[in-house]
Amino acid sequence: MAETTIFLQDACLQHKYIRNKHKSNVVERPERLRAVNVGISAAIARLESTQQPELNEEKPANNEVGELVDVMGKMRLGSPAADIGPSVVPIVKSQATVDILNNPAVKFIHGDIEGDVYLENLKNWAKDSWDEISQGRSEIPQGLAQGDLYLCPESINAIQGALGTVCEAVDRVLDSEDSLKRAFVAVRPPGHHCGEDTPSGFCFVNNVAVAAAHAHLKHNVKRVVIFDIDLHHGNGTQSIVWSINEETHRQTLEAEGGAPSPEKMGPKIYYGSIHDILSYPCEDGSPALVQAASVSIHKSHGQYIENIHLQTYESEDHFWNVLYKEQYSRLITRAGEFLEETGGAGEDVLVFISCGMDACEHEYPSMSRHNRKVPTSFYHRFTRDARVFADKYASGKLISVLEGGYSDLALASGSMAHVCGLAGSDKVDEEWWNIKNLTELTQLELEKATKKRRGGRPSLNANNDTIPSWLERTVTIFNSIDQTTAKISGHSVPVPPSGRTLRDRSKLSNTQSERSVSEPQKKTTPRKSAGGSTAAARKPRSSIDPVASSSNRKKPRPSVDSVVTSQPEDSSSDSSSLAEFSDLEQRNAPVVLTQDRKQVPRVVLKLGKKPEELEK
């Protein structure tokens, strides 16, 4: 039986930018999942080829370009699904969902003692988004980042579907009757920038934190390890982990002092992040955010947090033998120390990877412009090391959840390497995702396939070459799973709830009142961040103002015109086929939309200058 499974959720495609037609400027968009599906398909095809030698055979073709065009031309949206048959890595098309207002794990992370203020607001913002936009206003309340947050009425389906899918993966991995040990959950929108009630950086709920809470509440998981390998610091996850650890530590001290033990002790969580300290959310050099993203604390105050800053590398040898060996691997070493200090290996341990792929060497230069990158093989080797770690401490239980990654090539190559690392095969060849093979998979053939899709005929050469069978297998798998522009059904299956709804926060904060965009959050005892700052101080500047409540919907909002930068109209974002990949041309990256600084604090998730401007 397969020990690794992929979880997909078509509802995640419903979260779209509807503010205007300039969709080419939006980096967090449904098409990200199509690129991930390419990587997943190629990984499975390659892994199968190690067990089925015939998939490595090459079939005669009249000419290489022409036949590859024909093969890749099939890899387009709308192709009929094919039965891929048994696979070394099964794929689950999940229909799981949760009600964010009535799910114990969601309320444990994002709820409030006196009422789900933020969650109710989030539902209302999405529900009213069309009305707000039709009246010339932004659907995102003033005071929140207009440039990296957007909603549409169907966004709630995507958010609840993503949460339902990660919880389904937790249930499957922790089911003693199931052979499944590892999972990759490819969902969006991402989550690691979202704190308890602070959406930012494309994130509205924290998928990994909710999954950890679900594992704790339903399956009695007491110790959680989270490895965050996104380019950007997961400030939302760290603040949530700090809060939970603080509460668990308080419970422990009170029990040691003779106070009655709570019905259920809170979990202990290790959070380890490797990220670029020069990028969002630290790009403006905010002391609180930079300090939080640099914290290294273990055991003191019940906290287990490790942050490691990415550095530029001079060569692959420098990366692996110096940076990875001496610095980056410390992320896993510290996690082992955490588990050894809290009881060693056990059935109460679960490991997560917040798997962002925007640190990949193939990410847009303007997204990763500080040159703090990792080679694509990092997503294979780190995943392999995390798998070995999970085998040692958690009976192999490891769940990876997609976070960032924005260029097609970064997502496709990173996903391919990551899935190969999860699968555990010792026959993986890192040449599978080298630039030559990726070029063969995506560039010339796909560009010509685009012409073919639009009715033109690709130009053919006279070479008499062959095409690899694994590529045809990749097409078959991709066509069976990709629904990037398909009409999504509203049918969904709820995840069975667990028994507890909220963690006890009574001694950490006062009752949270409804907040408006102009009224400060009222807490007499603000919860401290990992950097020692108050909750408000640790938020990105673009989201430091409080969240607007549904009762304040009529307050002035940013106008749509002021939110959007002037760009050429581009309506191809939602209808482009896989054949329109063109990352290897180093095309210009989309520019994050920004608002007038007089109305909203400036967006700090910036992409920088266009590549051609950097060359001048």
- For the residues of 543-579, what is the DSSP string, one character each? G-SPPPPGGGTTS---BHHHHSPP---B--TTT--GG
Average pLDDT for 425-437? 87
Q: Tell me: pLDDT of 363 over 50.
A: yes
Q: End-to-end CA distance of the chain: give it in Å, rounded.
A: 56
The packing angle between helices 31-51 and 435-442, to 10°, is 120
Q: Using alpha carbons only, give the angle 160, 163, 165 rounded to the nearest 5 degrees.
A: 110
**In this predicted model, what pLDDT tens digit does every residue of 378-412 receive, in sequence order?**
999 999 999 999 999 999 999 999 999 999 999 99
Q: Is pLDDT at 454 greater than 80 in this prediction?
A: no
**For the segment 278-321, what is each residue's pLDDT rounded down to a tens digit?**
999 999 999 999 999 999 999 999 999 999 999 999 999 999 99
Distance from C-alpha of 310 to C-alpha of 278, rounded to nearest angstrom: 9
| 6 confidence band (pLDDT: 50, 70, 90) | very high
Helix, coil or strand: residue 64:
helix
| pLDDT of 537 above 80 | no
pLDDT at 21 over 80: no
Pair of tokens at residue 545: 């103002």
Q: Which of 356, 368, 354, 461 is nearest to 404 (CA)?
A: 356
In this model, does residue 581 exceed pLDDT 70? no
* 27-59 burial: b if 16+ Cβ within 10 Å, else e: bbbbbbbbbbbbbbbbbbbbbbbbeeeebeeee
pLDDT 10s digits, 91-109: 999 999 999 999 999 999 9
Q: Which pLDDT score, from 0 to 100, does residue 460 have?
A: 35
Using the 8-state DSSP alphabet, how is residue 324 labeled? Answer: I
Higher pLDDT, 557 or 143: 143
List % helix, strand, coil for the chain (3-state, nearest 5). Answer: 40, 10, 50
Which of 193-197, 521-525, 545-549 ranks highest by mean pLDDT?
Answer: 193-197
Alpha helices (runs of H) in 4-113, residue ranges in sequence order = 31-51, 64-73, 104-110
Tell me the per-residue pLDDT of 325-353, one tens digit each, with 9 for 90 and over.
999 999 999 999 999 999 999 999 999 99
Whole-number pLDDT of residue 79: 38
| The CA-based dihedral angle spanning residues 240, 338, 378, 42, taken in that order and rounded to the nearest 10 degrees | -70
Non-local (6+) Cβ contacts of 253 within 8 A are none
Assigned token pair, 194: 């979202």
Per-residue model confidence (pLDDT) at position 87: 77
The pLDDT value recorded for residue 408 is 92
550 pLDDT above the threshold of 70: no
CA dihedral (75, 76, 81, 87) positive or negative: positive
Judged against a pLDDT cut of 50, whether residue 535 lies above it is answered with: no
